[in-house]
């Protein structure tokens, strides 16, 4: 049974290479050519392990508080996933003054 589990993981990694490791950052803005970032950056993250437990606060308010930002100019989202979501981290990134 143990050998079958490892073989399944290897087949999934070969068949879906994006499943082994994903690190993607995307903007929340549509007018990117007019975006002014500001002088400060704040981040807030949530984490999950083994599809069983998750914790954290990735809200916009938490990210602004962590960066000591009172005026938000732009937001990004970063997602990291390892081995089909065995470990996940989602981060809200805010820029402003």
Count of CB atoms within 10 A of residue 27's CB? 12
Tokens of 62: 């938490």
| DSSP symbols for 27-92 | ES-S-GGG----SEEEEEEEEEETTTEEEE---HHHHHHHTT-SSEEEEEEEEEEETTTTEEEEEE
pLDDT at 40: 95
Q: Print pLDDT tens along the chain (97 aa).
A: 566 677 777 776 676 666 678 899 988 877 767 777 889 999 999 999 998 999 999 999 999 999 999 999 889 999 999 887 889 999 999 999 9
pLDDT at 1: 54
């Amino acid at each position: 049974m143990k050998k079958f589990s490892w073989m399944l993981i290897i087949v999934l990694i070969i068949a879906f290479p994006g499943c082994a490791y994903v690190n993607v950052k995307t903007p929340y803005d549509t007018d990117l050519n007019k975006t002014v970032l500001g002088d400060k950056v704040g981040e807030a993250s949530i984490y999950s392990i083994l599809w069983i437990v998750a914790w954290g606060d990735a809200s916009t308010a938490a990210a602004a508080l962590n960066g000591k930002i009172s005026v938000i100019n732009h937001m990004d989202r970063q997602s990291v996933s390892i081995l089909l979501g065995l470990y996940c981290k989602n981060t809200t990134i805010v820029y402003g003054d």
